[in-house]
Amino acid sequence: QVQLVQSGAEVKKPGASVKVSCKASGYTFTSYGISWVRQAPGQGLEWMGWISAYNGNTNYAQKLQGRVTMTTDTSTSTAYMELRSLRSDDTAVYYCARDEAYYGSGNFGYYFDYWGQGTLVTVSS
Amino acid sequence: SSELTQDPAVSVALGQTVRITCQGDSLRSYYASWYQQKPGQAPVLVIYGKNNRPSGIPDRFSGSSSGNTASLTITGAQAEDEADYYCNSRDSSGNHPVFGGGTKLTVL
């Protein structure tokens, strides 16, 4: 069965960096992309970016450009998300999710079919 | 503010039908997907594409779309359906995914 297992909770000081991992199993890792989504306490879901596990191509949310880097290690089927220059408003649960596409009746659709369990990142002095 | 607009809260009586809507210009070109999230848990995909349910999602969940509005319908809502529901599609450029603000569903 498909599983995405994330690394554990982190506490960081403002200005530091954090790197969250997402280990995939149960499918061919390089056949899908991985998106990262975060959720601040009591808030909604925010898409952060996407990486192709096939060729490493990335697509980042504009507001995080320059602070976020997504990478993969195909030898261990693991995706990573690094966020730098952390601020208090980066405090959130960070999720990885498998990215999938759908085409039917002339339209495309994109969706996240499997999610990791989430990693709480707390930024506090 | 999000490019996809959802009502913040909706309620439904147990066993009745409820429709949760998502509005945005990109929905004229891209299908929405829908996610259920219960407190302290990761989101779960419930509808994708034109009206497709992943394995394990009850058939009381269905999706539809008209113009700039996508809808998630729960026919015969159960107590366990009480959760936050998020729609997802593309932004106006079509290059990035975007989520709606979420709808908190209360089952009375």
- One DSSP character per residue, A49-114 reads EEEETTT--EEE-GGGTTTEEEEEETTTTEEEEEE-S--GGG-EEEEEEEEEEEEETTEEEEEEEE
pLDDT at B1: 58
More confident site: B93 or B24:
B24
Give the mean pLDDT of B20-43: 96
Question: How far from B86 is each of B2, B33, B67, CA to CA, in Å?
Answer: 12, 8, 19
Q: How far apart are CA B27 and CA B31, in angstroms?
A: 6
pLDDT at B52: 94
Contacts of A37 in chain B (CB under 8 A): 43, 99
Q: How far apart are CA B106 and CA B74, in angstroms?
A: 12
**Which residue in B33, B96, B98 is closest to A109 by CB distance?**
B33
Which 3 state secondary structure label does DSSP give B67?
coil
Kindly determine whether residue B42 and residue A113, on different chains, have CB atoms separated by under 8 Å. Answer: no
Main-chain dihedrals φ then ψ at residue B25, nearest 5 degrees: -60, -35
Reported as a single tens digit per residue, the pLDDT across B47-102 is 999 899 999 999 999 999 999 999 999 999 999 999 999 999 998 888 899 999 99
- Residue A7: pLDDT band (50, 70, 90) is very high
Inter-chain CB pairs, A–B, below 8 Å: 79
pLDDT at B77: 97
**Residue-averaged pLDDT of chain A:** 96
Give the mean pLDDT of A99-122: 91
Q: How far apart are CA A120 and CA A112, in angstroms?
A: 20
Neighbouring residues of B4: CB distance < 8 A, sequence distance ≥ 6: B22, B23, B24, B26, B27, B32, B87, B88, B89, B98, B99, B100, B101
Reported as a single tens digit per residue, the pLDDT across A28-82 is 999 999 999 999 999 999 999 999 999 999 999 999 999 999 999 999 999 999 9
Give the residues across from B23 on adjacent strands. B5, B69
